[in-house]
Structure 1
Amino acid sequence: MTQNVKLHYLFDPLCGWCYGTSATIATLAAHPAVDVQPQATGLFSGAGARPMKSFAPQAWENDQRIAALSGQTFSEAYRRDVLGADDASLDSTIATLAVTAVADSAPDRVIEALSAIQRARYVDGKDITSAAVVADILTDLGLTDAAARVLSPDAALTELVRKRGAVARDLMSSHHLQGVPALIADVDGTQFALDASKLYAGPDAILAALGRA
């Protein structure tokens, strides 16, 4: 009997390329034969954070490439209020806390929460480096426990972020992967990396690579 596929989806909430995959990931997550496991790597959190202003023009140029590939919206509000803000930073610390808090309390809603956080940034132009902004997003989804933990992170959540990030990075390292998004599949007891660029071709390309088309 063919087993379900476990698909590790490695991402950072502030990665524009990851945002470009969001529709495909959501479709895969709804597929009955695919168990998508979203895991934040912490790429742009902590020591990986940096000021936005120095590379905002380059970021916008990349965003236009992502939009052309994926059809995702990168709005003028995002360009003006996020990329253009004097004090803007590429810092996924708060957003990573948020998706981890959701993973702890409502694991079946992580992808939904991630998509809402991404839309808030890239479509609505909101500052998702703000705990208050991200907590409001989770509250609007009815994820009130996770929202409260974003506003006041406890030691258990901080440790969970550390552990999950370490597991994700170890998984990437074991398959010699760099950067996100990244995909690692477990199929019938065999683990292997997939070409994440296939995500931009839509879910059927991934399902074919998994032998589940």
Structure 2
Amino acid sequence: MQELSATYLFDPLCGWCYGASPMIERLRLAGVNARLLPTGLFSGAGAREMDASFAAYAWSNDQRIERLSGQPFSEDYRSKVLNKTGTLFDSGAATLAITAAGLADHRKRFDALRLIQHARYVTGLDITSVAVLADLLSAAGLGEAARLLTEESTALLEANRQLVAEGQNLFRRHGSNGVPALVIERNGHQRLLDASALFSSYDNLMAHLKAA
């Protein structure tokens, strides 16, 4: 697997990305060189305000994801995030926080994503809030990232813009129809992996990678 690398396209508000996280972590532990790229799918024009209809739709999807992946979606998340009046569905701030965490070491993006996903789907925190995100980063020993996020550092904003643009370009180039998406590269050749492989058995996923 030494010659194989993977780029994981995601959005921090994507429940399916949360569901795929354990499998991505297993790939990394197996020695696959993995990189995390945001797509900005649910920020900017893709953002919206939560309402009862969208909350019900999201919860229904989340229950399916939980059955397939084993990842928990708590009642705190349902009551404090989905069913809270005026909650935003906007991944812009969370994406910026993940970029901030990985400025010095891109692998820290995975740590920040895992932290933010747990905060939303298990603890029921509002990860559209910069203050909440900064507290999460600080508590995880990422104080410099928290400072850059709070100050909206010019360097951070530019790095984030570049990462999202790179993620969107890769997303379009491979004709992905959503996230999570995993682009496998071996010997200079790229291929989009069928996302369903992230929700099957680990052995099946490894078989897909070897065939890539």
Same fold judged by TM-score > 0.5? yes
Matched with 1:43 is: 41
1:92-111 CA distance string (max 9 Å, x none): 11100011111212322211
Matched with 2:99 is: 100
Matched with 1:198 is: 197
Decide which moves more: 138-147 or 104-113.
104-113
TM-score, reference length from structure 2? 0.95
Structure 1 residue 31 and structure 2 residue 41: aligned?
A: no
1:43 aligns to what SS in structure 2? Answer: coil
Matched with 1:87 is: 86
Please tell me the residue identity of whatever aligns with 1:12: D
Deviation at 1:154, TM superposition (A): 1.2
- Contact persistence 2:119–2:125 (CA under 8 A): yes
Matched with 1:133 is: 132
Separation in 2 of the partners of 1:202 and 1:144?
Answer: 37
1:66-87 CA distance string (max 9 Å, x none): 0000000000000000001101
1:25 aligns to what SS in structure 2? Answer: helix
- Contact persistence 1:105–1:146 (CA under 8 A): no
Separation in 2 of the partners of 1:18 and 1:80?
Answer: 21
- Contact persistence 1:8–1:36 (CA under 8 A): yes
Separation in 1 of the partners of 2:30 and 2:21?
Answer: 14
Matched with 1:13 is: 12
Separation in 2 of the partners of 1:56 and 1:95?
Answer: 19
- Contact persistence 2:35–2:107 (CA under 8 A): no
TM-score, reference length from structure 1? 0.94
Separation in 2 of the partners of 1:209 and 1:14?
Answer: 26
Deviation at 1:45, TM superposition (A): 1.2
1:211 aligns to what SS in structure 2? Answer: helix
Deviation at 1:4, TM superposition (A): 2.6
Separation in 1 of the partners of 2:47 and 2:134?
Answer: 20
State percent identity of aligned pairs.
48
Deviation at 1:204, TM superposition (A): 2.9
Separation in 2 of the partners of 1:90 and 1:143?
Answer: 25
2:210 aligns to what SS in structure 1? Answer: coil
RMSD: 1.4
Number of equivalenced pairs: 210
- The within-5 A match list for 1:54-65 is 54-65=53-64
Separation in 2 of the partners of 1:205 and 1:140?
Answer: 37
Runs of 5+ in structure 1 lacking a partner?
none
Please tell me the residue identity of whatever aligns with 1:205: N
Could you list the structure 1 runs, at least 4 aligned residues long, displaced by more than 4 angstroms after superposition: none
Separation in 2 of the partners of 1:43 and 1:203?
Answer: 27
Structure 1 residue 187 and structure 2 residue 190: aligned?
A: no
Deviation at 1:202, TM superposition (A): 4.1
